[in-house]
Amino acid sequence: MKINGKFLYILTFGLLLLMYLMSIPNRKPHVDDAWLGEHSYWLWHDGVVKSKLMSGIAGSEDRLLLHHKLFTLQGSAVISVFGFRLPWLKAVSLLYLVLSILVLKQIVKRMKLFNHPLSLPLFFLLLLLNPLVFEFSYVFRPEIMLMFLGLLSFFFVWLATKAEERPKLNSFISGLFAGLALVTHLNGIIFIASGFLLFALKRKFIPAVLFGIGATITSLGYFYDFRSISDFSLWYRQLTFIPSADGDIHLIIRLFYNSLGEHFRYFHSPVEISLSLLLLVTAFFGWTKLKEERSVLLVYTFLLMLTMSAFALNKTSKYLILLLPYFLMIVTVYIDKLLSLYDLRALRRIGMVASVYIVVSLIYNTITIQDKYDPVLNEHIRTTFAGEKSSEMHVLAPMEFIFDEIDNFEKITSLMSYNERLKLIPDLKATKFLKMARSEGIDLILLNDDYINTFEMRHFTKDSHVAGFVLVYKAEDLMVWKNSGRLNPALTQIRQTTQYESGLFQYHSGLN
């Protein structure tokens, strides 16, 4: 039976496009939309990157040198054109997803990865349906941009391994893109390390040197906002503000210990487990054939995994986005081989694991589609508890509250900054939490259910007077403390404070 490849393309991308179209309007703000978006906001507003949301963390409120440099600059450019608007910030990652698709199509074509007409639509289905890609391709974070730059670097690495493809020029270009990845996010170092090590393992020493030169040239862009040598001390202080349990352990030993916890990234939840199982089954049954035919892809992927395990200190699963295209190229190359050989037994085996991966992805993506954001709820909370004097008030709230309130208050500090300080001051809870807020000039505290529990505040009763604050409102999902010198007349019961249902969707404010 002949399969119409064009029809499969249309069907695959049509279904995926429908899911994205349902998801994108009023997508709920992610904490990183606020965290990283604020960096770009202050760069545009004051000409210097800072984070008032993270006040109290190593001078972040005055000047921040530890940020995702190239990504922050792009966000600032977007804000200068469209304003500090959540959808436009999120769209930056969506643009890089489109660019990544175009690069991947070129990689697949030039490397001749697939032969069967089913394979390419399957590859893009597995990639774009992945919940990490589905979520973070519309979050103002640099992982999708990193994926794009990493793919460009890999493409030129592969070209440089082929004698007929001008290896010296291509290795240099590959290094340039790897360096840009580092300027985008420090985790971009994995593309520098992996590219260099691949050339070294293949004994291509001149390309390795040229790759290193290219990477060094663009990596220097990371220091564009350093004004003096002393800025390196500020940068290091911001990098190490939260002490490491490793203490003064030697760097090499520390990287080794960091690698030992890498399994947490791959088995964090059903999303990561289903992906890991798909990769493991492919490696177990298809290793021999893959090694013979796709050695560069396999070695490069292994080097990315190895270097990420050492250098990426945070074991969060979102960094798997950088590795996903390579994982799924390997999986699809194996499936493509089985389809060409018409090996039904092996196809059923890998098909069962792939089906689990797809079902898990659909479940998680459905949750993402359902969660919506309504800025009117934030406005409602502001007018109810701050009134006309909000512009004179310093509010402590979840990060996401800056949408669309950043210009409506004198200052917004995030509860996450206090949460970070919990690592240094474990008893920063309840009354002590309120005392610190009072000492830092907080006028209004907005706690959602997560932070009510984190700071052990639930036992306080409405109208409690503690450390100069009054608990003026208490519900399951919202607790409001107000400086006793800024009390309004008695509040009436407010409705729909942080979320409400509407058909298939649940709308949230920036507090929940």
Indicate the pLDDT class of residue 257, thresholds 50, 70 and 90.
Answer: low
Helix (H, G, I), strand (E, B) or coil at 445: strand
C-beta of residue 167 within 8 angstroms of C-beta of residue 181 = no
**pLDDT the model gives residue 488:** 64
The identity of residue 148, as a single letter, is F
pLDDT at 244: 54
Residue 103 has which token pair?
């690069």
Q: Is pLDDT of 434 > 90?
A: yes
DSSP assignment letter at 29 = P
Residue 496 pLDDT more than 80?
A: no
Cα four-point dihedral sign 81, 87, 89, 95:
negative
Q: Which pLDDT value is given to residue 119?
A: 92
Query: Tokens 């007929």 identify what position?
Result: 164
Instruction: Please confirm whether the linkage preceding 404 is cis (ω < 30° from 0).
Output: yes
Of all helices (H) and strands (E), which one includes residue 482?
Answer: strand 479-483
Digit-coded pLDDT (tens) for 152-196: 999 999 999 987 779 999 999 999 999 999 999 999 999 999 999
Percent of the residues in the chain that have a pLDDT greater than 90, as a whole number: 75
**pLDDT reported for residue 1:** 45
pTM greater than the 0.85 cutoff: yes
Q: Which of 259-263, 300-304, 421-425 has the lowest mean pLDDT?
A: 259-263
Mean pLDDT of the chain, nearest integer: 91
Rg (CA), the chain: 25
What's the pLDDT score for residue 134?
Answer: 97
User: Once rounded to an integer, what is the mean pLDDT over residues 102-130?
Assistant: 94
pLDDT at 81: 97
Which residue matches tokens 């990315």?
A: 304
- pLDDT band for position 5 (50/70/90)? low
Tokens of residue 443, six digits: 């006028």
Please give the pLDDT value at position 140.
98
> Which pLDDT score is estimated for 247?
52
CB 395 within 8 A of CB 442: yes
For residue 343, name the pLDDT band (cuts at 50, 70, 90).
Answer: confident
pLDDT digits (tens, 9 = 90+) for 306-335: 999 988 878 899 999 999 999 999 999 999
pLDDT tier at 502, thresholds 50, 70, 90: confident
pLDDT tens digits along 206-247: 999 999 999 999 999 999 999 999 999 999 999 888 655 555
């499936």: which residue's tokens? Answer: 335
Give yes or no for residue 197 having a pLDDT over 80.
yes
- Provide the token pair at 157: 């690495």
Of 219-223, 340-344, 430-434, where does mean pLDDT reach its minimum?
340-344
Q: Which helix (H) or strand (E) holds 468?
A: none
User: Which residue is it, tokens 């507003």?
Assistant: 45
For a pLDDT cut of 70, what percent of the chain falls above it? 93
How does pLDDT run across 9-49, given as a tens digit for each residue?
A: 687 778 888 999 999 999 999 999 999 999 999 999 999 99
Distance CA 348, CA 285 (A): 13
What sign does the CA torsion over 47, 52, 56, 58 have?
negative
Q: What is the mean pLDDT of residues 340-361?
A: 91
Lowest pLDDT segment from 252-261, 344-353, 489-498? 489-498
What confidence tens digit (pLDDT) does each residue in 283-313 have? 999 888 888 889 999 999 999 999 999 888 7
Nearest CA-CA partner of 334 in 284, 300, 270: 284
| pLDDT tops 70 at residue 446 | yes
Give the tokens for residue 279. 């990769």
Can you tell me the distance from the alpha carbon of 355 to that of 363, in angstroms, rounded to the nearest whole number? 12
Instruction: Count other Cβ atoms within 10 Å, centred on residue 278.
Output: 21
> Is 60 exceeded by the pLDDT of residue 428?
yes
Residue 342 clears pLDDT 90, i.e. is over it = no
Q: What does the CA dihedral 95, 97, 102, 103 come to, rounded to 10 degrees?
A: 120
